[in-house]
Amino acid sequence: MGVLRRLLGGDSTKTDEAGRSPNPPLTPTALLGGSHDIEVVGESHYQDSLWRAVGGKTSEYLRIMTEAVLVPELNNPHDRNAISVWISEMRVGYFSREDAADYRAGLLALQAQTRCWIALPAIIAGGGMRATGPGLLGVWLAHDPSDFGLVAITPPTPPPVLEDLRTGLSRAIATDAEDDSYDLSWLHTLPNDHGSAIKRLRNLLRNDPDPIDRHFMFSELEWRLYRSRETFASALDEYDEACRLHDVEMDGIRVALLAKFGNVPLLETYRQMAIRQQKAKNWAEALRWASRGLEIYGDQAYRTEVVEELKKRAAAYNAKIPSKTAE
């Protein structure tokens, strides 16, 4: 461990009051890249740093290209594999627990090999004005899993953009004023706080019958529940239930989406639920979610690459299910 500390510029095992590493010297760096993306978590706790990184608060939606440094925290009491993400010398979030466990060993190996901190291309995206002020900013990183000793089963994807990340929501908002059949004004009334927004979304879903509205309400509810998974213990169980209820209505929603847009936008519900079952090694359920997503997309997906990804996942999951032996 002493060698690693010298490589990384001092003793990084010390922690601050929150049990996290203090600001380390983040130079020199080795910038890697790739066409797979990984989402940073916990950014809601670092919004001030993110706004400073983009030059200050604004009412505009943002998509800023930058670089992020990955810091393996050697003495984090909450996650022994913790990897924090730094932009402009400020911590802006973390790898999820699952991703940190997968990437930690490869990151340490890269640091030892390059004698540098490892940096990745990053996108800071989000913002926009809501009733309570600017919306939250999020961070996504571009990378090649093979650099970290990992094999990706998903095809490369271009850097994320807001429309695709939020299930086609930008496109729906753009046409909302021209169509009286649905009304997305509720989106701008949601509180920034995830807990309050989740409660508000559930109330909306009890009363709004429009399938397009309901689709985006479910999508927003799922997104906020998933982002709250490290905030309250029941978040993932509630996320699973929201995805199940969303899927129950998806046949009717699909008809409405096709009538309005002529295609089916990105449906993160199916990919995320397949991944969750994959991580639990519940291959039959993972296959069911991937197959259901393929059924809903059919041959009318807005992004054909997401269909190809689900096909690859379904094939991989199917191969994991033991063949039934003849009785």
Predicted confidence (pLDDT) per residue in 233-247, tens digit: 899 999 999 999 999
In a domain, 6, yes or no: yes
AA identity, residue 153: I
pTM of the model: 0.52
Range of 188's domain? 162-320
The counts of H helices and E strands in the chain are 12, 9
In a domain, 326, yes or no: no
Q: What are phi and psi of 41, to 5 degrees?
A: -120, 165
Predicted confidence (pLDDT) per residue in 108-130, tens digit: 999 999 999 999 998 888 776 66
In a domain, 325, yes or no: no
In a domain, 36, yes or no: yes
Do 139 and 225 sit in the same domain of this protein? no
Q: Which two tokens stand for residue 9?
A: 């510029």
Do 48 and 12 sit in the same domain of this protein? yes
Q: Say if residues 191 and 132 touch (Cβ distance below 8 Å).
A: yes
In a domain, 283, yes or no: yes
Q: Give the count of domains, the chain.
A: 2
Give the mean pLDDT of 134-151.
86
Three-state SS for 312?
Answer: helix
Residue 177's pLDDT is what?
44
Do 49 and 71 sit in the same domain of this protein? yes
d(CA 216, CA 203): 14
Q: Which candidate, 112, 133, 159, 172, places its Cα nearest to that of 302?
A: 172
Do 186 and 281 sit in the same domain of this protein? yes
d(CA 103, CA 159): 20
Listed residues 98, 123, 148: the one ending a domain: 148
Residue 302's pLDDT is what?
82
Predicted confidence (pLDDT) per residue in 54-74, tens digit: 888 877 767 788 899 999 998
Residue 253's pLDDT is what?
94
In a domain, 107, yes or no: yes
Instruction: Tell me how crowded residue 286 is: count the other CB atoms within 10 A of its CB.
Output: 25
Do 214 and 95 sit in the same domain of this protein? no
Q: Per the omega criterion (within 30 degrees of 0), is the bond before 28 cis?
A: yes
Check pLDDT > 90 for residue 304.
no
